[in-house]
Amino acid sequence: MNINKSNTAVVVIDPQNDVLSEKGVSWDLVGDSVKDNKTVENIERVFKAAKQGNFEVFISPHYYYLTDYNWKFAGTLEQMMLGVKEFVRSGPLSLDGFLGSGADWLDRYKPFIEDGKTIIVSPHKVYGPQSNDLVLQLRKRNLSKVILLGMLANLCVEAHLRDLIEQGFEVVVVKDATAAPRHPDLGDGYKAALINFGYVANAVLSTDEVVAAML
């Protein structure tokens, strides 16, 4: 896969406190994987390379609004996320309580995300981008390739990967700029994701490899 700023986008999924901060509500499940992969640092390295190389950067965030708690059913991890109020916001038209919350960006990422150039798409609600405008925003800019990273590897990252591949994009996953839950009953989500990344993606690269290709 040839990485080129003219046709390649950087897509960062859920660079938010609840899954990347030690104070986040999901840290007990994902913290060991985040630390082992140096996920926080590697996401920042890709952000820096993208800005230095003039790549277009997209954020696909995960938000739950208070009205979403009226859903009548949810999958296993959805139930956990809703139960701990992960990524919760008061509503789509309000930022009350957002600053510093679990739904907010990690502070170290804010200079990259809030630079007036980064595209923040509408939120995905389960795992994949089918419910947001990521694909529209990519196509409107004639971008056909995606460097994919963020959280969580076996859920939102894998779901984004699969949908983007089905939509005709070439996708490289940055394998150490992501992480996943380690659950005593459900297992290690990161190991599961790596296997599927290898089967589905056009390439699976390290942060070192991706940054070298971008600069």
192 neighbors 163 (Cβ within 8 angstroms): no
CATH of 8-190, one of 2.60.40.420, 3.40.50.300, 1.10.600.10, 3.40.50.850: 3.40.50.850
At 65-95, the pLDDT tens digits run 999 999 999 998 788 888 888 999 999 999 9
Task: Give the separation between CA 81 and CA 99, rounded to whole angstroms.
Answer: 20
pLDDT band at 46 (very low <50, low <70, confident <90, very high): very high
pLDDT at 84: 83
At 2-43, the pLDDT tens digits run 999 999 999 999 999 999 999 999 999 999 999 999 999 999
Which tokens go with 91? Answer: 């509503």
User: Which sequence spans correspond to the domains of the chain?
Assistant: 8-190
pLDDT at 1 over 90: no
Of 53-57, 109-113, 184-188, the least confident: 184-188
β 187-188/182-183 pair status: antiparallel
Q: What is the percent of the chain where pLDDT is above 70?
A: 100
Those residues whose C-beta lies under 8 Å from the C-beta of residue 178, and which sit 6 or more positions away, are: 37, 39, 149, 150, 151, 152, 153, 157, 190, 193
Q: What is the mean pLDDT of residues 165-186?
A: 96
pLDDT at 63 over 90: yes
Task: Give the separation between CA 1 and CA 84, rounded to whole angstroms.
Answer: 39
Reduced to 3 states (helix: H, G, I; strand: E, B; else coil), residue 14 is coil
178 neighbors 151 (Cβ within 8 angstroms): yes
Q: What is the mean pLDDT of residues 171-193?
A: 95
Match 């919350």 to its residue by tokens. 101
Model's pTM, two decimal places? Answer: 0.96
